[in-house]
Amino acid sequence: MTSSVPNATPRMGAVFELPKPPGLHWRVQARQLIDYEVSITRNLLNPDNSALAKACGANGRRPTRCLVVIDAVVEELYGPRLQAYFDAWRIEPFVEPVSGDEAAKTLDAAVKMTEAMTRMGILRRTEKVVAIGGGVVLDVAGLAASLYRRGVPFVRVPTTLVGQIDAGIGVKTGINHGHHKNRLGTYAAPETSLIDPEFLRTLPHRHVVNGLAEIIKMALIKDVALFELLEATVTEINADAFAGHGSATGEVLSRSIAGMLDELEPNLWEHELERSVDYGHTFSPSLELRADPPLLHGEAVAVDMAICVALAHNRGLISTVDADRAIRLMSLAGLPITNPVFTADLLAEALGDALKHRDGLQRVPLTKGIGAAVFVNDLKYEELVAALEFVYEREADCALAALA
C-alpha cells in the first residue's frame, strides 16, 4: 500500500497477529502497586526540615509549583510560616483556603478544588496537591485529586489528632451525600503523609478528645498495651502533651498509627469486608449526621463503641470488669457514651444501612476481651435495647464516680 502522505517514510513494526481461531472473549489482568510513606516529623515548617519540600518535588534550586488546599483556620495560624518555608525552597504555592467543617464535606467543595487545579494549570504528574488540615479537608481534597484528570498526585499534612492517626494515613477519600456519611468516595493513596505533632499545640481541647476516640478504638480491638497506657495517662493528655516530646504521648501516637497501618495495609481496597477498624463505625455515621447539637466524628464513634462494648458484654465476649474499664476510659477521656438521638430504632436503621455497605451481612466488630475483635452477623433488635440500657446504667455510675 502506498502512503497518501507526500515523502512519508513507511512505518515498520511488529506484526500483530490475531489469535487463531479469532476469539471474541478477552481477559484483561493488571496490578497496581501502591507505595506511599507515612512519617512523623517534627518542625515540619522549619526550612531546615526538607520533608515537605521533597514531598512537593522541590530541591531549592529550581522553581516548583503546588496547589495548597488548606483549612482556613490553619492558614490563619500558620500561613506566614508556611509561606516563609515555601520561599526558602523556591516553591510557588497556589493557595486555596477551604472550610474544615463537616458541613463542607460536599460534592460542591470537591468540584471547587478541581476548578482551582484548572486555574493553576496543574501538571498532571509532576505538580502536587498539598492538603493541609483535618479529616474533612483531607477527605475532600483527596477525592478532588483522584478525580481531576483521573488522578493527580497529592500529599497529606494532617493538623488534627483524628487526621494524624486515622483520616490522614489511609487511602480512602469521600464526601457526604444524600444525608449519608461518606456516601461518595474513592480509594486514592497520597504520595506522602507528613505528621507533625506540633500542629496539635493549637488544636482546641474538644478536638484532642475527638481524636482520642479513634485511639481508644485501636486499643480496644488490637492493642492491650495501648489500652493500659491510656488508662494510666488519659487524664493528662492534652494538646501540649502531644505537641511536646513526652514519651507517653509519643508512644500513644506511634502505637495508634502503627496499629492502624497494620490493619489497613493488607486490605487497602476493602476486598475483605470484615474490618476490625470499623469498630465504632456501625452506628456512628447515622448519629453523626443527626445529632443536635452536632457531634464531632470521634464523639459519635465513642457513643457507638459504648454500645458495642455493651453488646459484647451481653453476649459474654467481654467480662463486666473489662466492659466497665472500657466505658470508664472513654468517660475519663471526656467522650460522650450516650446521646438522646441514639434510640433503638435509630440503631436498627443504622444497622440496616451497614448491612448494605457490608454486602448483605452485618459484619459488626465487637471486642473479645480487651485487645481483640470478633465479628457477628446476627444482632437482634432486643439486643440493641438491652445494650442501650447497659450504657445508660454505666453513664450514671460514671457521673456518680466523677462527683465522688
Residues 170 and 156: their CA atoms lie apart, in Å, by: 10
- Is 20 a known active-site residue? no
335, three cell numbers = 467522650
Cβ-contact 137, 70 below 8 angstroms: yes
Among the listed residues 20, 105, 128, 172, the single catalytic one is: 172
- Closest among 178, 194, 197, 158 to 105, alpha carbons compared: 178
What pairs with residue 67 in β-bridges? 94, 129
Angle, in degrees to the nearest 10, between helices 247-264 and 205-222: 60
Counting DSSP H helices and E strands in the chain, the numbers are 14, 10
Q: Within 13 Å of residue 12, how many CA atoms lie on the same side as its CB? A: 0
SS (H, E, C) 104-170: HCCHHHHHHHHHHHHHHCCCCCCCEEEEEECHHHHHHHHHHHHHHHHCCCEEEEECCHHHHHHHCCC
What pairs with residue 172 in β-bridges? 187
- Closest among 193, 179, 169, 100 to 140, alpha carbons compared: 100
By annotation, the residues acting in catalysis are 172
